[in-house]
Amino acid sequence: MSLPPPTPQSRFADAAQFLRTWAANPLLLGAVTPSGPALAAAMAAEIDPAQPGPVIELGPGTGVMTEALLERGIAPERLFLIEYEPGFCDLLRARFPGVTVLQGDAYALRATLGARLRQAPIAVVSSLPLITRPEAQRAALVAEAFDLMVPNGPFVQFSYSLFSPVPLKLAPPHRLTTSPWIWRNVPPARVWIYRTGVSA
Protein backbone atom coordinates (compact mmCIF):
# COMPACT_ATOMS: atom_id res chain seq x y z
CA MET A 1 0.00 0.00 0.00
CA SER A 2 1.30 3.43 -0.89
CA LEU A 3 0.51 6.16 1.63
CA PRO A 4 1.03 9.84 0.98
CA PRO A 5 4.54 10.49 2.30
CA PRO A 6 4.76 12.27 5.66
CA THR A 7 5.46 15.97 5.27
CA PRO A 8 7.86 17.98 7.45
CA GLN A 9 4.75 19.59 8.97
CA SER A 10 3.10 16.26 9.83
CA ARG A 11 6.37 14.93 11.30
CA PHE A 12 6.68 18.09 13.39
CA ALA A 13 3.06 17.82 14.59
CA ASP A 14 3.61 14.13 15.50
CA ALA A 15 6.81 14.95 17.39
CA ALA A 16 5.01 17.74 19.28
CA GLN A 17 2.09 15.47 20.23
CA PHE A 18 4.54 12.75 21.26
CA LEU A 19 6.52 15.15 23.45
CA ARG A 20 3.35 16.51 25.13
CA THR A 21 2.16 12.96 25.84
CA TRP A 22 5.59 11.99 27.18
CA ALA A 23 5.59 15.04 29.49
CA ALA A 24 2.23 13.92 30.92
CA ASN A 25 3.27 10.27 31.32
CA PRO A 26 6.97 9.53 30.69
CA LEU A 27 6.81 5.88 31.80
CA LEU A 28 3.98 5.11 29.37
CA LEU A 29 5.97 6.39 26.40
CA GLY A 30 9.53 5.50 27.36
CA ALA A 31 10.90 7.79 24.60
CA VAL A 32 10.67 11.51 23.89
CA THR A 33 10.32 11.29 20.11
CA PRO A 34 8.79 8.82 17.66
CA SER A 35 11.11 6.18 16.17
CA GLY A 36 12.84 6.96 12.90
CA PRO A 37 11.97 5.39 9.54
CA ALA A 38 15.14 3.22 9.43
CA LEU A 39 14.21 1.49 12.68
CA ALA A 40 10.59 1.13 11.54
CA ALA A 41 11.72 -0.45 8.26
CA ALA A 42 13.97 -2.89 10.16
CA MET A 43 11.04 -3.94 12.36
CA ALA A 44 8.73 -4.39 9.36
CA ALA A 45 11.39 -6.37 7.47
CA GLU A 46 10.92 -9.19 10.01
CA ILE A 47 7.37 -9.79 8.78
CA ASP A 48 6.67 -11.83 5.65
CA PRO A 49 3.75 -10.11 3.89
CA ALA A 50 3.14 -13.26 1.79
CA GLN A 51 2.24 -15.25 4.89
CA PRO A 52 -1.54 -14.87 5.34
CA GLY A 53 -3.01 -13.78 8.67
CA PRO A 54 -3.30 -10.80 10.99
CA VAL A 55 -0.41 -8.81 12.44
CA ILE A 56 -0.71 -7.23 15.89
CA GLU A 57 1.08 -4.02 16.71
CA LEU A 58 1.57 -2.99 20.35
CA GLY A 59 2.22 0.65 21.27
CA PRO A 60 1.90 2.24 17.81
CA GLY A 61 2.06 5.83 19.11
CA THR A 62 1.85 8.16 16.11
CA GLY A 63 2.10 5.26 13.65
CA VAL A 64 5.71 5.11 12.46
CA MET A 65 5.79 1.30 12.63
CA THR A 66 2.25 1.06 11.21
CA GLU A 67 3.33 3.03 8.19
CA ALA A 68 6.34 0.74 7.67
CA LEU A 69 4.16 -2.37 7.98
CA LEU A 70 1.77 -1.02 5.34
CA GLU A 71 4.71 -0.13 3.10
CA ARG A 72 5.98 -3.68 3.59
CA GLY A 73 2.76 -4.94 2.00
CA ILE A 74 0.59 -5.85 4.98
CA ALA A 75 -2.97 -4.85 4.00
CA PRO A 76 -4.72 -2.45 6.43
CA GLU A 77 -7.41 -5.05 7.28
CA ARG A 78 -4.69 -7.37 8.57
CA LEU A 79 -3.40 -4.85 11.11
CA PHE A 80 -4.65 -4.76 14.71
CA LEU A 81 -3.15 -1.95 16.78
CA ILE A 82 -3.32 -1.77 20.58
CA GLU A 83 -2.58 1.66 21.99
CA TYR A 84 -3.25 2.89 25.52
CA GLU A 85 -3.20 6.64 24.89
CA PRO A 86 -6.59 7.86 23.53
CA GLY A 87 -5.06 10.86 21.71
CA PHE A 88 -2.80 8.54 19.68
CA CYS A 89 -5.79 6.28 18.94
CA ASP A 90 -7.68 9.22 17.41
CA LEU A 91 -4.69 10.11 15.25
CA LEU A 92 -4.16 6.48 14.12
CA ARG A 93 -7.83 6.03 13.17
CA ALA A 94 -7.76 9.21 11.09
CA ARG A 95 -4.44 8.37 9.44
CA PHE A 96 -4.86 4.68 8.66
CA PRO A 97 -8.33 3.83 7.28
CA GLY A 98 -9.09 0.12 7.37
CA VAL A 99 -6.67 -0.58 10.23
CA THR A 100 -8.26 -1.76 13.51
CA VAL A 101 -7.21 0.50 16.40
CA LEU A 102 -8.01 -0.78 19.87
CA GLN A 103 -7.65 1.53 22.85
CA GLY A 104 -6.50 -0.61 25.76
CA ASP A 105 -3.74 -2.37 27.64
CA ALA A 106 -1.33 -4.40 25.54
CA TYR A 107 -0.26 -6.37 28.62
CA ALA A 108 -3.80 -7.79 28.74
CA LEU A 109 -3.37 -8.93 25.15
CA ARG A 110 -6.11 -11.53 24.81
CA ALA A 111 -8.68 -9.48 26.76
CA THR A 112 -7.98 -6.33 24.73
CA LEU A 113 -8.27 -8.18 21.41
CA GLY A 114 -11.51 -9.83 22.52
CA ALA A 115 -13.07 -11.91 19.75
CA ARG A 116 -11.81 -9.72 16.90
CA LEU A 117 -9.28 -12.13 15.39
CA ARG A 118 -10.62 -14.76 13.01
CA GLN A 119 -7.19 -16.31 12.45
CA ALA A 120 -4.07 -16.73 14.55
CA PRO A 121 -1.72 -13.74 14.10
CA ILE A 122 1.47 -14.33 12.14
CA ALA A 123 3.46 -11.78 14.18
CA VAL A 124 3.39 -9.36 17.11
CA VAL A 125 5.32 -6.13 16.58
CA SER A 126 5.95 -4.25 19.82
CA SER A 127 7.33 -0.79 20.58
CA LEU A 128 6.24 -0.97 24.21
CA PRO A 129 8.79 0.42 26.67
CA LEU A 130 9.12 -3.04 28.23
CA ILE A 131 11.83 -2.09 30.69
CA THR A 132 9.39 0.13 32.60
CA ARG A 133 7.51 -3.04 33.60
CA PRO A 134 8.48 -5.84 36.02
CA GLU A 135 10.31 -8.76 34.42
CA ALA A 136 7.51 -11.22 35.18
CA GLN A 137 4.99 -9.01 33.36
CA ARG A 138 7.23 -8.76 30.28
CA ALA A 139 7.72 -12.53 30.19
CA ALA A 140 3.96 -13.06 30.63
CA LEU A 141 3.27 -10.79 27.65
CA VAL A 142 5.61 -12.78 25.40
CA ALA A 143 4.09 -16.05 26.64
CA GLU A 144 0.60 -14.75 25.80
CA ALA A 145 1.77 -13.58 22.36
CA PHE A 146 3.35 -17.00 21.63
CA ASP A 147 0.14 -18.66 22.72
CA LEU A 148 -1.90 -16.56 20.29
CA MET A 149 0.43 -16.73 17.28
CA VAL A 150 0.96 -19.34 14.60
CA PRO A 151 3.90 -21.71 15.26
CA ASN A 152 7.23 -19.94 14.69
CA GLY A 153 5.52 -16.53 14.84
CA PRO A 154 7.91 -13.70 15.80
CA PHE A 155 7.54 -11.29 18.71
CA VAL A 156 9.44 -8.32 17.30
CA GLN A 157 10.65 -5.67 19.75
CA PHE A 158 13.09 -2.80 19.53
CA SER A 159 15.35 -1.67 22.30
CA TYR A 160 18.06 0.91 22.93
CA SER A 161 19.67 -1.41 25.46
CA LEU A 162 22.62 -3.79 25.20
CA PHE A 163 20.54 -6.41 26.99
CA SER A 164 17.42 -8.32 25.99
CA PRO A 165 14.30 -6.32 26.93
CA VAL A 166 12.56 -9.66 27.49
CA PRO A 167 14.05 -11.46 30.52
CA LEU A 168 15.56 -14.54 28.89
CA LYS A 169 15.35 -16.78 31.95
CA LEU A 170 11.67 -16.04 32.61
CA ALA A 171 10.51 -16.03 28.98
CA PRO A 172 8.91 -19.17 27.53
CA PRO A 173 11.18 -21.36 25.35
CA HIS A 174 12.20 -19.34 22.31
CA ARG A 175 14.78 -18.71 19.62
CA LEU A 176 16.31 -15.24 19.67
CA THR A 177 17.95 -13.24 16.90
CA THR A 178 18.90 -9.55 16.81
CA SER A 179 19.38 -7.04 14.02
CA PRO A 180 22.56 -5.02 13.64
CA TRP A 181 22.51 -1.68 15.48
CA ILE A 182 20.48 0.91 13.59
CA TRP A 183 22.74 3.93 13.94
CA ARG A 184 20.45 6.20 11.93
CA ASN A 185 17.85 6.04 14.69
CA VAL A 186 18.06 8.52 17.55
CA PRO A 187 19.06 6.98 19.88
CA PRO A 188 20.57 3.95 18.08
CA ALA A 189 18.48 0.83 18.58
CA ARG A 190 18.38 -2.85 17.75
CA VAL A 191 15.53 -5.15 16.79
CA TRP A 192 15.10 -8.24 18.95
CA ILE A 193 13.17 -11.14 17.42
CA TYR A 194 11.84 -13.87 19.72
CA ARG A 195 10.29 -16.87 17.97
CA THR A 196 8.27 -19.68 19.40
CA GLY A 197 10.18 -22.94 19.75
CA VAL A 198 13.68 -23.71 20.93
CA SER A 199 17.07 -23.43 19.20
CA ALA A 200 18.16 -26.53 17.30
Give the binding site for ligand SAM (CB under 6 A). 28-31, 34-35, 59-61, 64-65, 82-85, 88, 105-107, 127-129
H/E run at residue 145 = helix 135-148
- What is the spatial distance between Cα 130 and Cα 187, in angstroms, rounded to a whole number? 16
Smallest gap from residue 121 Cβ to ligand SAM (A)? 16
> 5-28: buried (b, 16+ CB within 10 Å) or exposed (e) per residue?
ebeeeeeeebeebbeebbeeeeee
- What is the spatial distance between Cα 121 and Cα 81, in angstroms, rounded to a whole number? 12
Identity of the residue, 185 or 196, whose beta carbon is nearer to ligand SAM in the bound complex: 185
Smallest gap from residue 60 Cβ to ligand SAM (A)? 5
Identity of the residue, 34 or 54, whose beta carbon is nearer to ligand SAM in the bound complex: 34
Q: How crowded is the C-beta side of 27, counted as CA atoms within 13 Å?
A: 4
> Nearest to residue 187, comparing CAs of 157, 163, 159, 156?
159
Smallest gap from residue 108 Cβ to ligand SAM (A)? 8
Identity of the residue, 117 or 175, whose beta carbon is nearer to ligand SAM in the bound complex: 117
Count of residues for the chain?
200
Identity of the residue, 102 or 150, whose beta carbon is nearer to ligand SAM in the bound complex: 102
Smallest gap from residue 1 Cβ to ligand SAM (A)? 18
Identity of the residue, 10 or 152, whose beta carbon is nearer to ligand SAM in the bound complex: 10
Smallest gap from residue 200 Cβ to ligand SAM (A)? 32
